[in-house]
């Protein structure tokens, strides 16, 4: 048995043909849908990048206890568990957050791993002189401007190199058994940098300044005329993602790997391209464009393809699905469920799903309603981080943050370990919105929040139940005004 996971970052469900998009050129995603089961109700759990990857490893929610950070000493790591059970695991990725302080423990859980440099301001090529300034809208990092000079050809772009190395691993090991490869590209994450022939797939009249990297902010009046252009820039990068996906499908066809090789194609979250008058993610309510994600799975044990499933699934289900596929015991601390029975008969595996970012809304969906619970007070307190690995995205916790550490726990999943309890950062942009309730059946675009006390009461009870099952810190209930 072998398994391949192709993972993208910020891949929008609503930009893919299998999910109803009729203008993005992505024939291989159509082809993928014909060879797999397509999940119609897949949701994120913890946002954004590294919190989602902690879920990918551990099969449990991250965001109620901690923000961005590494794996913890007590965490169950799916690739490490496979490795201990003599399943060879390999990671090839250009996702530069793995090699920062806040992601430094993930890649070492695999038997082997390869790094591809150059994405999103990765501190890669060293040039002392500043690059020529360029008029632009949105963001443009100095380092990113330098890096682009070293990837003028498609084969030199990090995504292309990542897939090339992944395919090299598959070709080299196609006659071997018991392996898992994670081919993970940062694309189509911003900046939307790709080759001209992909841009040419989306001809449009654009005379504005370069704009391929929106800020995490509301759409400004200056930017509003260019929303369509940014969407085309994103679409061009999705078409490149589609091209490389086709190479994986070709490889599986070439070696008849469909008979014994699982294929998972997934992402960590979506990205707003002007919808709801917002760019990006993390600074606004987690609308469907962000939280409702694409997921495709081929399980050779079932032989089911070209079908869709409506059961509510999440990122936390991927780790137990892979362990189950390789007949490896699933740790008791994993909250996710194997997807085999969902694939077989659309079996319901949960009543509801939590999702969110540390210190922001706590969100809950039952597949029809989405309930976004806001903090009860403007100061967003009490809020704490629980960790033994005190790092943020690119740096360790500051000396001032570490002055008043308490010892807390253990929690049910920390294997008897007590942890540091550290006052959380107050990021007002993550919680300065009211409590919201949406009915996706009548309002799939989430344009009109509803007021329905009966539904809100039911969704509140479901949220409390799921938070308790996560052994949620008691102050989270207080922060949200939940009894």
The domain locations on the chain are 2-350, 354-480
Please report how many Cα atoms fall inside a 13 Å half-sphere around the Cα of residue 67, on the Cβ side. Answer: 23
Beta-sheet pairing, 384-387 with 406-408:
unpaired
Per-residue model confidence (pLDDT) at position 144: 93
Sheet holding 436-439, edge to edge: 353-356, 362-365, 369-373, 436-439
Range 2-350 has CATH code 3.40.50.720: no
Contact between 137 and 211 under an 8 Å Cβ cutoff? The reply is: yes
Per-residue model confidence (pLDDT) at position 213: 96
Name the residue among 356, 320, 372, 332 with its Cα closest to residue 59.
Answer: 320
Structure tokens at 95: 């996702």
Per-residue model confidence (pLDDT) at position 425: 78
Count other C-beta atoms under 10 Å from residue 133's C-beta: 9
Q: Which residues contact 94 (CB under 8 A, 6 or more apart)?
A: 115, 116, 117, 118, 119, 158, 159, 161, 162, 184, 185, 186
Per-residue model confidence (pLDDT) at position 427: 61
pTM score, whole prediction? 0.97
> What Cα–Cα distance (Å) separates residue 78 from each residue in 11, 71, 331?
23, 11, 9
Per-residue model confidence (pLDDT) at position 29: 98
Rg (C-alpha) for the chain, rounded Å, is: 22
C-alpha 188/C-alpha 274 separation (Å) is 16
CA angle 451, 426, 74 (to 5 degrees): 100
Token look-up 């780790």 returns 319
Contact between 29 and 45 under an 8 Å Cβ cutoff? The reply is: no
> What Cα–Cα distance (Å) separates residue 161 from each residue in 183, 188, 229, 266?
11, 15, 27, 19
Per-residue model confidence (pLDDT) at position 430: 58
Per DSSP, the three-state class of 58 is helix
Average pLDDT, consecutive stretches of 10 residues, N- to C-terminus, the chain (483 residues):
98 98 98 98 98 98 97 98 98 97 97 97 95 91 94 97 98 98 98 97 95 96 96 98 98 98 98 98 96 98 98 98 98 98 98 97 98 93 96 95 96 98 76 91 98 98 98 97 92
Looking at the chain, how many residues does it have? Answer: 483
């Amino acid at each position: 048995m072998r398994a391949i996971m192709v993972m993208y970052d910020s891949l929008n469900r609503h930009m893919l043909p299998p999910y109803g998009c009729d203008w993005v050129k992505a024939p291989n995603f159509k082809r993928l849908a014909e060879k797999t089961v397509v999940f119609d109700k897949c949701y994120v759990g913890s946002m954004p990048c590294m919190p989602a990857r902690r879920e990918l490893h551990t099969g449990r929610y991250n965001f109620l206890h901690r923000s961005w950070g590494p794996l913890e000493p007590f965490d169950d790591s799916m690739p490490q568990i496979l490795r201990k059970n003599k399943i060879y695991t390999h990671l090839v990725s250009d996702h530069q957050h793995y090699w920062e302080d806040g992601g430094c423990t993930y890649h070492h859980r695999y038997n082997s791993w390869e790094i591809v440099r150059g994405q999103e301001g990765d501190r890669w090529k060293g040039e002392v002189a500043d690059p020529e300034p360029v008029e632009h809208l949105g963001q443009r990092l100095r380092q990113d401007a330098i890096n682009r000079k070293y990837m003028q050809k498609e084969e030199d772009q990090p995504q292309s190199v990542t897939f090339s190395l992944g395919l090299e691993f598959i070709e080299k090991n196609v006659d071997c058994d018991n392996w898992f490869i994670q081919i993970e590209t940062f694309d189509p994450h911003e900046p939307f940098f790709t080759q001209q022939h992909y841009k040419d797939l989306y001809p449009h009249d654009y005379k504005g300044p370069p704009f391929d990297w929106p800020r995490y902010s509301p759409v400004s009046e200056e930017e509003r005329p260019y929303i369509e252009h940014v969407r085309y820039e994103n679409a061009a990068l999705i078409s490149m993602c589609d091209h490389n996906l086709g190479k994986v499908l070709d490889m599986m066809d070439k070696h008849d790997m469909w008979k014994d090789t699982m294929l998972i194609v997934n992402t960590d979250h979506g990205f707003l391209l002007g919808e709801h008058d917002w760019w990006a993610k993390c600074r606004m309510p987690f609308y469907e464009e962000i939280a409702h994600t694409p997921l495709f799975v081929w399980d050779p044990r079932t032989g089911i393809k070209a079908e869709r499933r409506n059961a509510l699934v999440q990122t936390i289900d991927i780790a137990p699905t892979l362990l189950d596929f390789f007949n490896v015991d699933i740790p008791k601390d994993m909250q996710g469920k194997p997807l085999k029975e969902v694939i077989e008969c659309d079996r319901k595996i949960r009543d509801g799903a939590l999702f969110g970012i540390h210190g922001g809304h706590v969100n809950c969906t039952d597949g029809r309603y989405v309930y976004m619970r806001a903090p009860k007070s403007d100061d967003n307190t009490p809020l704490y981080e629980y960790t033994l690995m005190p790092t943020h995205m690119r740096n360790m916790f500051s000396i001032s943050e570490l002055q008043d550490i308490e010892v807390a726990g253990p929690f049910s999943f920390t294997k008897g370990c007590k942890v540091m309890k550290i006052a959380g950062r107050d990021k007002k942009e993550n919680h300065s919105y009211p409590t919201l309730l949406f009915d996706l059946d009548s309002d799939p675009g989430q344009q009109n929040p509803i007021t329905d006390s009966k539904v809100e009461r039911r969704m509140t009870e479901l949220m409390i139940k799921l938070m308790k099952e996560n052994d949620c810190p008691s102050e989270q209930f207080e922060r949200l005004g939940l009894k």
